[in-house]
Amino acid sequence: MRLDLLLRSLLDIALLRAGPQDVPYSPALVGLTAAVAAAVSYPAISTFSPGSDPALQLLVLIGFNAAFAYAVLQLRGLGARFVQTATALFGTDALITAVALPLLRLSGAPESEAPAAVLVFIGLLFWNLAVVGHIFRHALSVAMGAGVMVALAYTFGATLFVRMVLGS
């Protein structure tokens, strides 16, 4: 697998021009994209969640996200789509986080009262929800509205799960 083609596919998914079905089927890519997403997210968690163990938080988060995707695909009888769906979820997460980090550092922490920081954070949140909803829409063969509902459960479920498990 050429990495430039994978990156192009993930960028097209992040721009809502392609779906997870356009990512090559490779179980190794799930691990690769999860590792890249963790590496890119580590500085964000270290900066914006002080006092928590970023590595442990990422491990719990990646485990929840993979289990969530696997479970919803199994519920729809589409378990064979897990590898490409997980690759798309982790890969686009890495891309969005890579874009978000410099923007958040320039605008301030998400919890700050700076209007620019709030607008940037809300914009990134909506973009991420749209991309995750788009991925689930294709993976589950449902309407975009249903994909966004699954994305909301995925995103906020992950946050709640991490807080419940780690207390942070």
pLDDT tens, position by position, for the chain (168 residues)? 688 889 999 999 999 999 999 999 999 999 999 999 999 999 888 877 767 788 999 999 999 999 999 999 999 999 999 999 999 999 999 999 999 888 777 776 656 667 777 788 788 899 999 999 999 999 999 999 999 999 999 999 998 998 898 886
Contacts of 78 (CB under 8 A, 6+ apart): 139, 140, 141
How far apart, in Å, do the first and last CA atoms of the chain sit?
38
